[in-house]
Chains A and B, each alone.
Chain A
Amino acid sequence: QVQLVESGGGVVQPGGSLRLSCAASGFPFSTYDMHWVRQPPGKGLEWVAYIRSDEGSIYYADSVKGRFTISRDNSKNTVFLQMNSLRAEDTAVYYCAKDFWSGFFDYWGPGTLVAVSS
């Protein structure tokens, strides 16, 4: 069965960095596009970043452009989110999500919490 498991979250000071990972299994990872979606505490869902299966296309939300970098390692079935210059408003649960070839998200990981606080 499809599994996505995020890791790497934690508490970081403003201006700091974190690298999130999402380990995938149960499907041919190298043929699917992947996303990161976040959810601030008590709030709604916000799409963050996208990477095509072959890394040929990458997109970011305006709120993270220039600070976050998405990447993937198809040999390790893993997608990453490098987060730099973190701000208090980046505090959220970060989910990785599998794209169903059309732009909706058919599987989600359980999420990892990132808290930016001094």
Chain B
Amino acid sequence: EIVMTQSPATLSVSPGERATLSCRASQSVGSNLAWYQQKPGQAPRLLIYGASTRAIGIPARFSGSGSGTEFTLAISSLQSEDFAVYYCQQYNNWPPWTFGQGTKVEIQ
């Protein structure tokens, strides 16, 4: 089973600033990495797939990068609606499909 590790657990950022979230896989997953955003009381929403492709309707301020075992989600200028929990997920080796434990982006 591939273990996904996200850091930091919590990221405190001011609105308008840039946020950088990290995700590491226990073995290579190629580019088969997705990012999701989850707000309280809501289902997760797909942001990025293929490590760097934005899903339909996702603003350009969200960008993904990386391959192999190291991945990054960047939010270029945080808006109020971006404060949420973000999860990475690998889909290279399955089953199981595995998620990171999440990074909470909170208002500083």
Using CB atoms and an 8 Å cutoff, list the residues of chain A in contact with chain B: 35, 44-47, 50, 59-62, 95, 100, 102-111
Which bracket fits the contact residues of B? 20 to 34
Residues in B neighbouring A107, C-beta threshold 8 A: 46
**For the complex, what is the distance from the CA of A100 to the CA of B94, rounded to whole Å?**
15
25 contacts across the A-B interface (CB closer than 8 A): A35-B97, A44-B87, A44-B101, A44-B102, A45-B36, A45-B44, A47-B95, A50-B95, A59-B94, A60-B95, A61-B96, A62-B96, A95-B43, A100-B49, A102-B32, A103-B32, A103-B92, A103-B97, A104-B32, A104-B34, A105-B36, A106-B55, A108-B43, A109-B43, A110-B42
Q: Are A46 and B43 in contact (CB under 8 A)?
A: no
Q: How many A-B residue pairs have CB under 8 A?
A: 61
Closest chain A CB from B42 CB (angstroms): 8
